[in-house]
């Protein structure tokens, strides 16, 4: 213990001074944080408005649809993650495995418990349980895909839609049952990010391939698109979609703000994704392509069977990073397109009659930050873990 202290905190006089100064700052900071969270903070503003934060003004009687969609989405994500044949992990015993899961996803559990406690209802506990079951079922199905000889034979083009169908069907059903104006809160941030991620993927791939194509015209078009989008601030593009889109489409259609947001996020992220995928494609030795040509494969087959799978695999961490930043950027849509998203909720609830002028902006914004932080942090840690498992940068 003393040895550890000497080695890590008090190696020399300067080291000791630094330790004492920074230790003082850290202790002071920890103290005010604890004092604020447990003593002076007035968290009833979050407790009262929890539903607004999470789903906005979504009708109470349709809430089960959101819960069901979340379970289906959890199933889908777990099935994709569990079925990935990436790397090999050592077999762990049950106890070790539980420790591993708690370390990786403990923050998510903690957030779920916090939300259940804040919501004061047994229903929410039930939904959290169902979410857990959804994740577990997805993982089992994903593992079957990886290990079962018969299911392995199914081509991806059939398998991927199969595991996605419940989620997509439920989201569309929710959309049909309610109107988009009722959507709000964290739900809208989550859905906008999710849908944009799915939609930007094919576009990004095409742009990346187009930028490396041997056709000069296509190369020019793709390069121009990518560079124009990357030179523009997302916020201005969103404002443009809100104010100026009317000018560019026939007057008979006027898309909802959520659709405008999703369109801009998709077009924007596709340009960045294209650059990431291009980086992956450049890392592939030309021998791979030449081998494909020697086997007499067409360009389409070389891309879809040889280069793209390797390129996409090597840039998974960078893609996740881009998706995290897309998820965080969905807050911009709230301001630019007047959506009732979680940031907007956080700002307006301090002007409610019960809380007006009491200076509760700290409480409400910190809660919003917590929601984003937990999700982004867990995702970025998972992507680092994946990076290590894929051995990117080590080879």
Partner 1 sequence: MSPLSSVSARPKFWRDVRFLRWVFQLLVLAVVFGILYWIYGNYQTNVERSAVPTDFGFLDNPASFTIPGTDFDQSSPVSAAFVRGFQNTMLVAVVGIIFSTIVGTLVGIARLSKNFLVKTLASAYVEIIRNLPLLLLITFMNLAVVLQTFPRIENAWQPFDLFVISNRGLALPWFEGSGLILLLIFAASIVVSLVVMKIERARADRTGQKSRAGIFAILIIFGFLLVGWMLLDYSWTLPFVDGRGTTGGLRMDPSFFALIVALVLYTSSHVAEIVRGSIQAVHKGQGEAADALALSPGQKMRIIILPQAFRIAMPAIGNQYLNLTKNSSLGATISYFELTQIAQITVGNGSPAVPAFTLTLFIYLAISLVTSLIVNFFNRRLALVER
Residues in touch with partner 1 (CB under 8 A): 8-9, 11, 15, 18-19, 22-23, 25-26, 215-218, 221, 228, 230-236, 239-240, 243-244, 246-251, 324, 328-329, 331-332, 335, 343, 346-347, 359, 361-362, 365, 368-369, 372-373, 376-377, 380
Nearest residue (CB) to partner 1, 85 versus 216: 216
For residue 182, the 8-state DSSP code is G
Tokens coding 10: 């008090």
71 Cβ neighbours under 8 A, 6+ residues apart = 127, 130, 131, 133, 134
Minimum CB distance to partner 1, residue 329 (Å) = 7
- Taking Cα atoms as reference points, which of 346, 335, 340 lies closest to residue 369? 346
Nearest residue (CB) to partner 1, 22 versus 109: 22
Minimum CB distance to partner 1, residue 13 (Å) = 13
- Taking Cα atoms as reference points, which of 257, 235, 234, 262 lies closest to residue 246? 257
- Report how far residue 247's alpha carbon sits from residue 228's, in angstroms, rounded to the nearest whole number: 20
Nearest residue (CB) to partner 1, 122 versus 217: 217
Q: What are phi and psi of 150, to 5 degrees?
A: -75, -45
In three-state secondary structure terms, 213 is: coil
Minimum CB distance to partner 1, residue 60 (Å) = 28
In three-state secondary structure terms, 341 is: strand
Tokens coding 80: 């994709």
358 Cβ neighbours under 8 A, 6+ residues apart = 42, 350
Check: CB of residue 277 under 8 Å from CB of residue 310. no
Minimum CB distance to partner 1, residue 315 (Å) = 15
Minimum CB distance to partner 1, residue 336 (Å) = 9
Nearest residue (CB) to partner 1, 295 versus 348: 348
Count of Cβ atoms closer than 10 Å to residue 334 Cβ: 24
Minimum CB distance to partner 1, residue 207 (Å) = 13
Nearest residue (CB) to partner 1, 170 versus 341: 341
Q: In terms of C-beta density within 10 A (0-12 exposed, 13-18 middle, 19 or more buried), how is residue 362 classed?
A: middle
Minimum CB distance to partner 1, residue 160 (Å) = 27
Minimum CB distance to partner 1, residue 324 (Å) = 8
Nearest residue (CB) to partner 1, 329 versus 340: 329
- Report how far residue 156's alpha carbon sits from residue 164's, in angstroms, rounded to the nearest whole number: 12
- Report how far residue 69's alpha carbon sits from residue 170's, in angstroms, rounded to the nearest whole number: 5
Nearest residue (CB) to partner 1, 156 versus 247: 247
Minimum CB distance to partner 1, residue 254 (Å) = 12
- Report how far residue 307's alpha carbon sits from residue 329's, in angstroms, rounded to the nearest whole number: 31
Nearest residue (CB) to partner 1, 130 versus 390: 390
- Report how far residue 384's alpha carbon sits from residue 377's, in angstroms, rounded to the nearest whole number: 11
- Report how far residue 168's alpha carbon sits from residue 73's, in angstroms, rounded to the nearest whole number: 8
Nearest residue (CB) to partner 1, 75 versus 329: 329
């Amino acid at each position: 213990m003393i040895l550890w202290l000497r080695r890590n905190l008090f190696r020399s006089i300067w080291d000791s001074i630094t330790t004492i100064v920074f230790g003082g700052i850290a202790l002071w900071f920890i103290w005010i944080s604890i004092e604020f969270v447990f003593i002076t903070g007035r968290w009833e503003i979050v407790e009262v408005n929890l539903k607004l934060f999470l789903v906005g003004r979504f009708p109470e009687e349709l809430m089960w649809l959101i819960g069901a969609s979340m379970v289906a989405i959890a199933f889908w994500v777990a099935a994709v993650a569990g079925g990935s044949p990436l790397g090999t992990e050592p077999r762990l015993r049950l106890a070790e495995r539980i420790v591993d899961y708690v370390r990786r996803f403990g923050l998510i559990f903690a957030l779920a418990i916090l939300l259940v406690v804040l919501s004061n209802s047994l229903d929410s506990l039930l939904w959290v349980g169902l979410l857990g079951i959804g994740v577990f079922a997805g993982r089992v199905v994903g593992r079957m895909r990886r290990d079962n000889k018969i299911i392995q034979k199914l081509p991806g083009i059939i398998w991927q839609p199969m595991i996605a169908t419940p989620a997509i069907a439920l989201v569309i059903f929710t959309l049909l049952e309610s109107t988009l104006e009722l959507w709000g809160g964290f739900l809208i941030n989550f859905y906008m990010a999710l849908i944009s991620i799915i939609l930007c993927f094919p576009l990004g791939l095409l742009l990346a391939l187009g930028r490396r194509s041997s056709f000069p015209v296509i190369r020019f078009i793709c390069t121009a698109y990518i560079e124009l989008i990357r030179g523009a601030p997302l916020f201005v593009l969103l404002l443009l979609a809100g104010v100026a889109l009317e000018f560019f489409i026939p007057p008979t259609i006027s898309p909802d703000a959520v659709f405008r947001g999703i369109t801009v996020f998709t077009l924007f992220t596709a340009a960045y994704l294209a650059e990431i995928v291009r980086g992956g494609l450049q890392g592939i030795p030309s021998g791979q392509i030449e081998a494909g040509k020697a086997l007499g494969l067409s360009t389409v087959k070389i891309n879809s069977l040889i280069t793209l799978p390797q390129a996409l695999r090597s840039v998974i961490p960078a893609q996740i990073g881009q998706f995290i930043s897309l998820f965080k950027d969905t807050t911009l849509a709230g301001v630019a397109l007047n959506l009732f998203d979680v940031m907007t909720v956080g700002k307006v609830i301090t002007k409610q009659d019960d809380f007006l002028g009491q200076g509760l902006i700290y409480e409400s914004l910190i809660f919003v930050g917590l929601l984003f932080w937990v999700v982004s942090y867990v995702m970025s840690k998972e992507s680092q873990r994946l990076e290590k498992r894929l051995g990117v940068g080590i080879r």
